[in-house]
Amino acid sequence: MATSRRTVAVAAGQARSTSRSPLDVPAQYVKGVGPARAVQLARLGLRTVEDLLYHAPHRYEDRSHLASIASLVPGQKQTTEGVVLALSEKRHGAYQFVAALSDNTAVLQAIWFGQRYLRRVIRRGTRLIVHGKIERAGRLQMVVEEFEILTGDDTDTLHTGRIVPMHPATEGLSPRVLRTIIAQALSQYRDGVPELLSPAIRHRHDLLPLGEALRAIHFPTSLQEADAAHRRLAFDELLILQLGVLMRRQALQTIDKGIRYAGDGDLLHRFIGALPYAPTRAQRRVLDEIAADLRRPAPMNRLLHGDVGSGKTVVAAAALWLCVGGGYQGALMAPTEILAEQHYLTFRRLLAPLGVRVGLVTGGAAKREREHVRDALRAGDVDVAIGTHALLEGGVTFGRLGLVVVDEQHKFGTQTSWS
């Protein structure tokens, strides 16, 4: 079940109107985009205003320090400001457009390659901020990577003189173009984006308001503000994920299509009695909760997590035993063949004394062996199947599947999680 920010806002009661959210507006209608550029954006998956506002840069460049021309250091990338004293063009070989800039401390030759349109844009007397690598070839010069034309007292720059967001360049969409489009989307639509969190929650968790975070993720005033913006948006993503899980769970609870296992408490006692040790208090609590879930008519959807060695494997084995004891088959899917084989040995050791027949299903097994296990599963002669994603292949059919356990170690690093 996919859960969008718009869906969550409505579900949380934050959106009182049924009118269209600014997030849903097609990117085409952002000023300066239009149909042709919208096609280019769509290739990046940027189809709506929401896509643009949440398209975070992959890094930042700090261009906020404006060095005087006299202090520029050859070999370094730097940002400086000056007024155009003279213009020239070099037409032999690769086209170069050259502007001599002065800030009253020295003169810098600013060089652009292949950008003939600059003849119509830059004039003598134009005030520029330029950013690029400084070189000294007889004279101090810079191969310009970014520039901005300043007018009057203009200090609100996008591409220079600030911490600049950097996106990968793609065909037809340079970082500069994408930066300009996102800035325009923020200007037009940021104030209309619904805030999911109350002031009290934001204060409790020290979070930026959403509109401020959307601005700061793209155009921060400091790297610390960029970190705060990332933190707010990450909080929202996790909140939306959790709300989506809760909404899905609530929907499942209303569907009377789950397997209602008979409440035979002796099954759990038999499993615990077969263990060479007593389960911990936490294990026993979780086992009781799982047993209660299995007795309900609604499907069980549960995440079990804990540190390495905390006993999650035993809990998963107990759940599968309750499933088998209720007359159904169970399955456990692991992310790798090595882990599946380890689980197979462990679960066979835990469950075989109780009469549970455990089988192994992996893609690396011999064809004859795979076919034998598949036939046994189909006939109900295997109670618990341990395997990799090979369990999902079309040829694997269960006679009476009642419970699936997924080892999500590949998502949680060294801490195995069972769901």
- Rounded CA gap, 146 and 159, in Å? 6
Interacting residues of 279 by C-beta distance below 8 A, sequence separation 6+:
272, 287, 311, 314
Question: Residue 6, Cβ neighbours under 10 Å: how many?
Answer: 18
Q: Residue 256: inside a domain, yes or no?
A: no
Identify whether residues 47 and 75 lie together within a single domain: no
Exposed, middle or buried, 23 (CB in 10 Å: 0-12/13-18/19+)? buried
DSSP code for 400: S
**Of 115-124, 247-256, 275-284, 393-402, which gets the smallest average pLDDT?**
247-256
Per-residue confidence (pLDDT) for residue 11, from 0 to 100 = 46
Number of residues assigned to the chain: 419
What is the rounded average pLDDT of the residues 67-92?
A: 92
Mark whether 310 and 378 lie in a shared domain: yes
**What pLDDT was estimated at residue 168?**
80
pLDDT higher than 70, residue 7 = no
Say yes or no: 71 and 118 in one domain. yes
Indicate the range of 12-26, 90-104, 158-172, 381-395 predicted with least confidence.
12-26
- Indicate if 285 and 381 belong to the same structural domain: yes
Angle (CA) 43-44-47 rounded to 5° is 80
Confidence grade of residue 154 (pLDDT, cut at 50, 70, 90)? low
* Choice between 352 and 137, residue whose per-residue pLDDT is larger: 352
Residue 29 CB: number of other CB atoms within 10 A? Answer: 14
Which of 70-74, 245-249, 268-272 tops mean pLDDT? Answer: 70-74
Distances (CA, A) of 125 to 87, 150, 394: 10, 11, 72
386 and 295 in one domain? yes
Residue 79 placed within a domain = yes
Pairing of strands 401-406, 329-333: parallel
71-75 average pLDDT score: 94
Residue 274 lies in a domain: yes
Q: Which two tokens stand for residue 224?
A: 């610390």
CA distances (Å), 283 to each of 81, 321, 356, in order? 66, 15, 21
For residue 240, give both structure tokens. 């939306």
Domain contains 246: no
The mean per-residue pLDDT over the stretch 203-209 comes to 96
Q: Where are the alpha helices (DSSP H) in 254-336?
A: 265-274, 281-295, 312-325
CATH number at residue 284: 3.40.50.300
Same domain membership, residue 182 and residue 113: no
Confidence at residue 370, expressed as pLDDT on a 0 to 100 scale: 80
Calculate mean pLDDT across residues 391-411. 81
Same domain, 215 and 282: no
Checking if the pLDDT of 5 tops 90, the result is: no
Residue 117 scores a pLDDT above 70: yes
Per-residue model confidence as pLDDT tens digits over 364-374: 777 888 888 88
| Same structural domain, 335 and 412 | yes
- Is residue 251 assigned to a domain? no
Q: How far apart are CA 319 and CA 330, in angstroms?
A: 9
CA dihedral sign, ordered 167, 169, 174, 177: negative
> Average pLDDT of the chain?
85
Q: In the prediction, which pLDDT does 71 show?
A: 94
The pLDDT of residue 18 is 44
Is 245 a member of any domain?
no
My answer on whether 384 and 282 are in the same domain is: yes
**In a domain? residue 389:** yes
pLDDT in tens, 289-337: 998 888 887 788 788 887 777 788 999 999 999 999 888 999 999 988 8
pTM over 0.75: no
Q: Are residues 195 and 54 both part of a single domain?
A: yes
pLDDT digits (tens, 9 = 90+) for 326-362: 889 999 999 888 999 999 999 999 999 999 999 998 8
CATH number at residue 103: 2.40.50.140
Q: Give the confidence band of 363 by pLDDT, cuts at 50, 70, 90.
A: confident
pLDDT digits (tens, 9 = 90+) for 19-71: 567 888 999 999 989 899 999 999 888 999 999 999 999 888 888 888 999 99
Same domain, 49 and 128: no
With beta carbons less than 8 A apart as the criterion, state whether 79 and 161 touch.
yes
Domain count, the chain: 3
Q: How far apart are CA 142 and CA 136, in angstroms?
A: 8
pLDDT of residue 20: 66
Give the domain range for residue 181. 5-60+170-240
Last residue of a domain, one of 113, 134, 161: 161
pLDDT over 70 for what percent of the chain? 89
Q: What is the pLDDT of residue 156?
A: 66
Q: Which of 240, 256, 280 is the last residue of a domain?
A: 240
Shared domain check, 303 and 399: yes
Domain endpoint, select from 240, 274, 291: 240
